[in-house]
Amino acid sequence: MRRRDLPRGLTVLILLLAGCAAAPSDLRRQAAEHRAEGRLPEAEAAYLRLADSLTDADRDTRAARADVLRELGGMHASFGDAAKAERHYQSALRVAETEPRLSDGLIINLRAQLASLSYRAGRTEEAAARYEEVLRLERASLGDNHPDVLATLGILAGLRMKCGRPDQAEPLLRRQLELTERIHGPGRRETASALDRLAEALSDLGKAEEAGRLRQKAAEIRKKLCDEC
């Protein structure tokens, strides 16, 4: 049947359906525009259409799909909808952890976002468990001496202290102090802060003598830095 022989209604339907097949770049632009305008349902619909358009099984397409879902989770997190943020982060993580796995960086980022959501929701034990996994992945991917490992050690130690477990925080804080001295130097403000944090945990554990020595060392570092100002 030639096109001019198509019924008018069917021709209109075909044109409408063709218009729905927006290019990925158009869908991403629409999502960004709706997000900037605070039109979250429209932005979410555009993100989901974009994710659904990325159906190929190759690694690059799966990575793009996971990243779109991560963006969608980030949008909901920034607007305070933790439940939707978690759902989309989990969806992105499932895509990222299929075989073969996608980039370690993406997986670490998604797990850190989920840990942060748990912390902000007051689920401290869950947050600590999630940051334990982040720390394990960072060490495996980045090595023990990376600044990201240092940051996660500090977060996890703080959570253990918040949960009333200075015994679990102590080894983390000792490692944090060692790594802080290596990265920043033994006479820096960052090292003084790490000394004070470890001293706090030791005090809670009844190790007053060692805690006092660490606090004294931290005070000496700060005094020397002030004298040099």
DSSP 45-76: HHHHHHHHH----SHHHHHHHHHHHHHHHHHH
Domain annotation covers residue 44: yes
Which tokens in the block code for residue 115? 């840990």
Contact 152, 137 (CB under 8 A): no
> Cα–chain-centroid distance for residue 19?
36
Domain annotation covers residue 25: no
Domain limit, last residue, from 92, 127, 162 = 127
CA–CA distances in Å: residue 150 to residues 24, 43, 146 = 38, 36, 7
Domain annotation covers residue 207: yes
CATH number of the structural domain spanning residue 120: 1.25.40.10
Task: State whether 104 and 163 are in the same domain.
Answer: no
Domain limit, last residue, from 66, 96, 127 = 127
End-to-end CA distance of the chain: 86
Contacts of 209 (CB under 8 A, 6+ apart): none
- Residue-range definition of the domain harbouring residue 59: 31-127
Report the pLDDT value the prediction gives residue 21, as an integer from 0 to 100: 58
Residues of the chain with pLDDT under 70: 1-21, 229
Stated pTM of the model: 0.83
